[in-house]
Amino acid sequence: MPKASELKRGHVVELNGHVYIVQHVDVRNPTSRGATTLYKVRFNLLPEGGKHEVTFTGDDMVKNVSLERRKVSYLYREDDLFTFMDVEDYSQYYLNGSSIESQLPYLSDGLEGIMALLIEGEIVTIELPASVIMEVAECVPGMQAASATGRTKPAILSNGLELQVPEYIKQGEKIKINTETGKFMTRA
């Protein structure tokens, strides 16, 4: 059983009979003498989704959940059901859209590098690759001398996602996006 101070993004734990995945850990060091460090942890409930926050001290123990990670690729969407295929044994897994709501903008047909998290053979959520490559479908024309400035402009990607990109990016270019922050990284 790990201590709360050892929790990191992606750990899966059990609290009060429910299974959660760690989304964010905020460490707070109080300034008064004798005070203990606090760990404010934001979880997502698995598999239904839903947010939950708990504050721990460093020595609090949490119950670890045995978890299997499998490489999958995204196949298709049917209504609110998303289908993923295991790249090794070709078995298929189905997830409800509400359980992966924050990851939906980055899914595209045939996307690989996705990890499925399974508990007792049942898929509970997915982990996207650190970055994905997408095409800019729509943006205002780029400026030639814009590379010297740090200004950005809005761009709409081929899947409908809107984000800020540097002014030199043109329509039709492929860009790399950080799936954790949702921000532009570089041209692809």
Domain ranges of the chain: 4-64, 68-127, 131-187
C-alpha–C-alpha distance, residues 71 and 95, integer Å:
15
Please report which confidence band the pLDDT of residue 145 belongs to, taking 50, 70 and 90 as the band edges.
Answer: low
Instruction: Please give the CATH number for the structural domain made up of 4-64.
Output: 2.30.30.30
CATH 2.40.50.140 fits 68-127, yes or no: yes
Q: What is the pLDDT of residue 44?
A: 81
Domain 4-64 and domain 131-187 have a common topology: no
- Is this prediction's pTM over 0.85? no
CB distance 135 to 173 below 8 Å: yes
Task: Kindly report the CATH class assigned to 131-187.
Answer: mainly beta
DSSP assigned state of 62: -
Could you tell me how many residues make up the chain? 188
Q: Please state whether beta strands 92-96 and 114-119 pair in parallel, antiparallel, or not at all (unpaired).
A: unpaired
Please report which confidence band the pLDDT of residue 72 belongs to, taking 50, 70 and 90 as the band edges.
Answer: very high
